[in-house]
Amino acid sequence: MKVSIKPDHRALAEALRRRVLEGPGETRPELRLASAERAAGGPASEAPFDDLARQIGEATHRVTDAQVSSVLTATGSEKATFEIIVAAALGAGLSRWQQAMKVLDEVTNAPA
Amino acid sequence: MRLPEIERGDGVANRLLISFISMVSGMRLPDAARVAFYHKDFFGTPMGAWTQAAMRGPSPWRVAERELMACMVAKWNACAFCVGAHGAVAAKEMQRPAVDEVISDFHAAPISGRLKSALAFLEVMTLRPKDLKAEHAMAALSAGVSAQALIDAIAVGALFSIVTRYADALDFAMPTPEEFERAANMLLKRGYAS
């Protein structure tokens, strides 16, 4: 018999957030978190990470070779640069996830 | 690809795997798959788990409908790679002209009213997330989208808000239409878990 269990999106989102923003990596978790928050419209972080994270959040198709190269030069590692890029992407995506789930919860938890 | 190590693969095993899959499939392995293999413990594993659940797990939405949602989030984020990739998967279960009509103007496209309502919600979530209000969720629910279906759609929207951003930040190489077609077969058969 085939058993279908609906995905637990909240748990899967949280597992992804914790691994990328809090787990071990080549970059400091604080830098990843700052990049995620920046891409979600948060405060400026340190250069040169700030410029890339802001661009990924606002209009990622306009990211330039120079913006990525600056982060690569600062970190000295492609893996570290990758971590900053996915942290920023995650920040923009998860902020939308949280906002959308918040408005849905407002409707579904509203008293009849 | 702005980070050559992702294109090559990190480690001998991944390099061999990329070469092997490219050889067997008869096409250059798309950069999206290369990212899934790269620094896998950090990103590919948890990202693949959620993406697989959202795109292929049990849901009130058919696979083609979820792929269309991914395609539209990509359109709103101006990510040509993801429009091509996910439009091609949707076209495996729908007529290609219908997919193109959705991409052009989903309001007028030959799709269900509930899918249009979910897409309308995702459009605000993608482009103007701070404007997203309970009234948008209410509109979708009133149009026949169940709460579970809306959660599933939101998950797709969130995931492709992430995917499109790293795809363009990394400057994924653009496959040809024939390569998108072959990659779509792989995505249908293998799914997203890395």
Enter the tokens of residue B101: 């009509």
**pLDDT tens per residue, range B76-133:** 999 999 999 999 999 999 999 999 999 999 999 999 999 999 999 999 999 999 999 9
Q: The domain spanning residue B140 has which CATH number?
A: 1.20.1290.10
Q: Is position A97 within any domain? A: yes
Q: Is position B123 within any domain? A: yes
User: Which of A9, A68, A106 would you mutate first to test chain B, the one with the most B CBs within 10 A?
Assistant: A9
Cis before residue A48, ω within 30 degrees of 0? yes
Q: How many domains does chain A have?
A: 1
| B90, B99 contact by CB (below 8 A) | yes
Q: Is position A17 within any domain? A: no
Q: Is position B37 within any domain? A: no
Q: How many domains does chain B have?
A: 1
What is the value of pTM for the model shown?
Answer: 0.96
Q: Is position B7 within any domain? A: no
Helix (H, G, I), strand (E, B) or coil at A112: coil
| A16, A10 contact by CB (below 8 A) | no
Q: Is position B2 within any domain? A: no
Distance of CA B114 to the CA centre of its chain: 19
Contacts of A111 (CB under 8 A, 6+ apart): none
Q: Is position A91 within any domain? A: yes
Enter the tokens of residue B157: 């929207």
Residue B12, Cβ density class (10 Å: 0-12 exposed, 13-18 middle, ≥19 buried): exposed
Q: Is position B154 within any domain? A: yes
Q: Is position B130 within any domain? A: yes
Please report the number of interchain residue pairs, chain A to chain B, with beta-carbon separation below 8 angstroms: 167
Q: ipTM beyond 0.90?
A: yes
Q: Is position A14 within any domain? A: no
Domain that holds residue A35: 28-108
**pLDDT tens per residue, range A46-102:** 999 999 999 999 999 999 999 999 999 999 999 999 999 999 999 999 999 999 999
Q: Is position A47 within any domain? A: yes
**Using the 8-state DSSP alphabet, how is residue A2 labeled?**
-
B45 against A6, higher pLDDT = B45
Closest CA in chain A for residue B131:
A99
Q: Is position A69 within any domain? A: yes
Closest CA in chain A for residue B149:
A6
Percent of chain B at pLDDT exceeding 70: 99
Q: Is position B35 within any domain? A: no
Q: Is position A51 within any domain? A: yes
Domain that holds residue B151: 44-190
Largest alpha-carbon pair distance within chain A?
Answer: 57
**Using the 8-state DSSP alphabet, how is residue B29 labeled?**
P
Q: How far apart are CA A74 and CA B91, in angstroms?
A: 43
Query: What is the reported pLDDT for A111?
Result: 65
Residue numbers in B near A55 (CB within 8 A): 169
- Among A7, A55, A72, the residue with its CB nearest the CB of B57 is A7
Residue numbers in B near A72 (CB within 8 A): 3
